[in-house]
Structure 1
Amino acid sequence: MIYRLLHFFLKLLSYIPFRMLYILSDGLFYPLYYIVRYRRKVVRKNLTESFPEKSLSKIKQIEKKFYHYFIDMTLESCKLASISPKKIKQRMQFTNTEAVNSMLRQGKSVSIYIGHYGNWEWVSSMPLWLEKSATGIQIYHKLRNKSMEQLMMHIRERMGGTCVEMHKTARCITELANRHEVCIIGFIADQSPRKQESRFFLPFLHHSTPVLTGTEKITKHYGFEAFYLDVKRKKRGYYEAEFTQLHENLQSLPDFELTTLYFQRLEQTILRQPELYLWTHNRFKHAEKLETNN
């Protein structure tokens, strides 16, 4: 019953025209930022520590731009409940797809390294651009609320991908490999590990940051190719995502080098337009600030 109600209201919201959606977004900014102050302390701390060279006034500018974008992205994600494949392809475009499709046609499976940057929910439309013979998988964190979990899986799978819980990743890939199925798997690989899982640290946004290395282990163990998805926001409601191969010979890399390459690329993307990153997550809670040279 709860799921049906949530689905009804989400579907209703998804039918709002984009122009009206952004008017609504603009109207929500003031109460969210100034009254509710949603996770303001976390965002300010993350931005200040990640950009120690910037003045407080500049930090506040990025902060406000982030909240404007955060509301935009949330409402845009609701559109997944009803938007057509044709329309989403106009608004979420992928480039250098031939590099990935060429691998898939050769029978090589591919890992796609994604970050919490831009509209990562719209990245679920990726299968519309890739070889239909390949199985599209999206790795995700299970939600505590079962109705919300069911709802999110529904909208994320509308464009042809299949959602797989993080702890079931290895089992799913093994089953695909045993059936000799070529697959393309999207990993949002900048998740913050739990304290007991914080074993590998690397420099990221002026922090010595603990990172998950499971994506690298899976990619190298199964002989996948690895690509980074660099997302750009062209204007409100329009994105471009470029596939870039992280390395041509993954087996030659030492342990954790692939993970390092990914975070270097992600940091470059964030520095280009920092307000499009998800600053509301306390992802540096187990990290240590790096000293800066003034």
Structure 2
Amino acid sequence: MYYIYYGLFWLISILPLRVLYIIADGLFLLGYYVIGYRKDVIFKNLNIAFPEKTDAEKKRIAKQFYKNLIDYFIETIKLLSASDKFILRHMQGNWEMVNAYKQTGKSVQVHLGHNFNWEWANVAAGKNLDYTFLGVYMPIKNKALDKLFRKIRSRAGTILLSAHDMKRDFLPYRNQQYLLGLVADQNPWPVSKGLWFNFFNRKTPFTLSPAKNAIANDTIVFFAFIHKIKRGYYKVVFELAEEHPAGSTEVELTRKFAHYIEKVVREYPDMWLWSHRRWKHEFKDEYADKYFG
């Protein structure tokens, strides 16, 4: 089955990007107006996040989100045949800010949310960053698709660590100078181990593992967001979050990230993955000692 998926998607990928975007426009019309993929979840999230916006404003965000989501899938397929030159032209970044810390001998963590297009950013980062690049990923249940996505995500040398067995997969690299990429904005599991913060005016749990790892290893922390310059062209913007995490706390570092994500999502709302249930966990009295405002 893997080879069927690979052959089909590779044939699609060799089409020029302008042709792929015509296909994407057709899929948008089908997905938004006919199928209505997760429309209820998307608008529920938008109503929670932006109660001050009009229905027309939220509808515009939803439509542009759909377009970005479909572009994300089309652009990910393009990775099967796109050259490195193509990727480096279409995904820029202030890579030098992160590379400047290579000489310190310390490792780096990059924390980012689910914003488009993280697949292109992963490949571009593997080509531009001067570290052993470790990327945490969530395995896909379909084994053929999982194999295909692992091939795409490792094409630039990214070493993939399964989110299910991260500690085990991380062990061989713990004594090397590495860069660990973490897409971990919400919904920790189990939720009882999360830290709760005021996020879009609602008590929301965040996973503490990224902060815990950074503090334990005194790993330099950057936050990142991917900006869409225009269709098919992006820029990763890194922001130094903590140079000496050992002197911080899990609460403060996680709070910084929660506030950062809210700030950039408010600025670029259509770039975040609204089709996930962002507030699926309700705050309970038993979590009171883990709420930090």
For 2:97, which of 96, 99, 107 is the aligned residue?
A: 99
Candidates 121, 139, 144, aligned match of 1:142: 139
1:229-277 Cα deviation digits (max 9, x unpaired): 1211000000011221102221222332111111211111111110111
Q: Which residue of 2 aligns with 1:159?
A: 156
Q: Percent identity?
A: 33
CA contact (8 A) 1:195 1:286 kept: no
Question: Aligned partners of 2:76, 2:111: CA distance in 1, in Å?
Answer: 20
Superposition TM-score, scaled by structure 1 size? 0.92
Change (3 A) 1:261 1:136: same
Which residue of structure 2 aligns with residue 228 of structure 1? 223
Q: Is the 8 A contact 2:215 2:250 kept in 1?
A: no
Q: Distance in 2 between matches of 1:73 and 1:113?
A: 20
- Residue 168 of structure 2 aligns with which residue? 171
Q: Which residue of 2 aligns with 1:291?
A: none
Please say which of residues 249-258 and 110-119 is displaced more in the overlay. Answer: 249-258
Runs of 4+ in 1 over 4 A off after TM superposition: none
Q: Deviations over 1:121-150 (max 9, x none)?
A: 11212021111xx21111011111111110
Separation in 1 of the partners of 2:220 and 2:120? 23
Q: Which residue of 2 aligns with 1:50?
A: 49
Inter-CA distance 172–269: structure 2 relative to 1 (3 Å threshold): same
Is residue 10 from structure 1 mapped to residue 9 from structure 2 by the alignment?
A: yes
Whether the 8 Å CA contact 1:39–1:280 is kept in 2: the answer is yes
Letter in 2 for 1:188: V
Cα RMSD after superposing both structures: 1.4
- Over 3 Å counting, the alpha-carbon distance change for 1:101 and 1:170 in structure 2 is same
Q: Distance in 1 between matches of 2:35 and 2:111?
A: 33
Q: Structure 2 regions of 5+ residues with no counterpart?
A: 284-293
Distance 1:106 1:168 in 2: 29
Q: Deviations over 1:38-76 (max 9, x none)?
A: 000000100011101111111111111111111111111
CA distance, structure 2, for counterparts of residue 14 and residue 207 of structure 1: 41
User: TM-score, normalization: structure 2?
Assistant: 0.92
- Give aligned pairs, total: 282
Deviation at 1:160, TM superposition (A): 1.6
Distance 2:90 2:212 in 1: 33
Q: Aligned in 2, Cα 1:229/1:273: closer, same or farther, shift over 3 Å?
A: same
State the SS of the aligned residue for 2:197.
Answer: strand
- 2:291 counterpart residue number: none
